[in-house]
Structure 1
């Protein structure tokens, strides 16, 4: 459903009183919806939480998270289309100084975008999930596995039980031995990688907690997740740098992972000390 708000606008006349309240609130406050849980939306409108869920399903979505993502996607797409005519062609770089300055500005813009896509509350929920986890398995699609493995290594040094294997057979074998209280951290920027989705579905059936990291979009992986984080795919990244969207996408992902690590280490004094000792040991080799 690419035109969520338009669909709501067309259907509003045939809605019940509670549904109309929800529809009008969403149409008038679409840009704020990203920060509202289903409970918060229900309280703001004056309806029950189940009314929010039923409203979302009546519009054809699996639940409120899917509706919220669809609205956010539509807003982002509209903003991007509005900005397309204003984006100048990539400048020719006459000096090294210009290259560094433009790259620094691009990174600053990307960092700001990531903070807008992910609320501090969402970040803290993922941090708490990792803190409470008995075991954590990381899986990643595409060329981002190195970023995930670096994060997994830091957690391992901090004393967490972590698995970050890239072999699909080993991933499935490890998943089969995991239990409630364990976490699957699944990264697929498209949110549609078949292997990652299969693992997430198996994790869901086993009662594991799923953390997804995808592009800011309605996608199968984020809908399976208990906690969702969002980065930029190369298409979105091209709005920041038409010549090097892959670099921008990697910067976005790395910034989000670094933010998770910084919050984790700030809350875990012992883990931070272990990491410092490990770094000192490596430097003395």
Structure 2
């Protein structure tokens, strides 16, 4: 067994132990048996509930009850969470070493050079007409919903605040089922859903696009998606944030969102300036 496999199993077991903390006393003997099986067999996370139940001689409903006690709708959701948690929790030392290997000479100068390179690549993928089209969709919307996945959540929150200051009704949306439903219930056709995500079209991204399509929302994607393609009804602003293993650049998504806000001022100066004046007035009243 190599170091990567060991790291995966450690992360997997850590996820289980974190989930059961505080509920151990509420678990039945059969449910404890399932937990023990997972702790001892991280590689079997991909097996079906029926296969696991047969292996440890418990009824399949035991796996369902255990998942529900841990806060999931059923066993498939628990299994999906565990696999995702373990696979995405890359070993920190490995990422750190990879980042250091990209540094030559001064760390500060190397970091600046890498950021400059990432920014330079934006102009080769995102054109002014594409930026204009994104802004026109935003201006035509009654409301803008922004979703940031994984380590892009901070960008989504920052972008939402910038839009609100400019008089655009914007709100970040969570991936939690109930919270997502609550936010999108008030949406109207032609509203905009902005997805900020990394270099993979994961299952949740695809679900959000499907939901938006059913609600007749316009979808704008901001992503360092490179080789894969998005559905034709998604307007993609393609950026580059660096290699998967290394520390992701923070400049490209911030520059793109800042460019959108500034471009809105050019396309709808009166509306944006009115929003900014209103924001400043309210902030002054707070003080």
Q: Report the TM range for the smaller structure's normalisation.
A: 0.5 to 0.7
Superposition TM-score, scaled by structure 2 size = 0.56
Moved more, 251-260 or 166-175: 166-175
Counterpart of 1:146 (choices 140, 144, 154) is 154
Matches within 5 A, 1:224-243: 225-235=233-243
What is the Cα deviation at residue 201 of structure 1?
0.5
Q: Distance in 1 between matches of 2:118 and 2:242?
A: 12
Q: Distance in 1 between matches of 2:152 and 2:180?
A: 16
Asked if the contact 1:204/1:224 (under 8 Å) is kept, the reply is no
Moved more, 224-233 or 275-284: 275-284
Asked if the contact 2:135/2:264 (under 8 Å) is kept, the reply is yes
Tell whether 2:122 aligns with 1:114: yes
Give the aligned partner of residue 212 of structure 2: 203
Superposition TM-score, scaled by structure 1 size = 0.56
Q: Distance in 1 between matches of 2:167 and 2:276?
A: 9
Give the aligned partner of residue 140 of structure 2: 132
The runs of at least 4 aligned residues of structure 1 exceeding 6 Å deviation read none
Counterpart of 1:193 (choices 175, 196, 202) is 202
What is the Cα deviation at residue 231 of structure 1?
1.6
Aligned residues: 184
What is the Cα deviation at residue 100 of structure 1?
4.2
Matches within 5 A, 1:1-285: 90-93=103-106, 99-166=107-174, 168=176, 169-219=178-228, 222-223=230-231, 225-235=233-243, 245-246=247-248, 248=249, 250-270=250-270, 271-275=272-276, 278-279=279-280, 282=283, 285=287
Secondary structure of 1:227's counterpart equals strand
Moved more, 176-185 or 140-149: 176-185
What is the Cα deviation at residue 199 of structure 1?
1.5
Q: Distance in 2 between matches of 1:167 and 1:257?
A: 21
What is the Cα deviation at residue 277 of structure 1?
5.7
Provide closer, same or farther for how the CA distance between residues 89 and 182 of structure 1 changes in structure 2, counting only shifts above 3 A.
closer
What is the Cα deviation at residue 174 of structure 1?
2.2
Q: Distance in 2 between matches of 1:179 and 1:89?
A: 47
Q: Distance in 2 between matches of 1:126 and 1:216?
A: 18
Computed over aligned residues only, the root mean square deviation of the Cα atoms, in angstroms, reads: 2.7
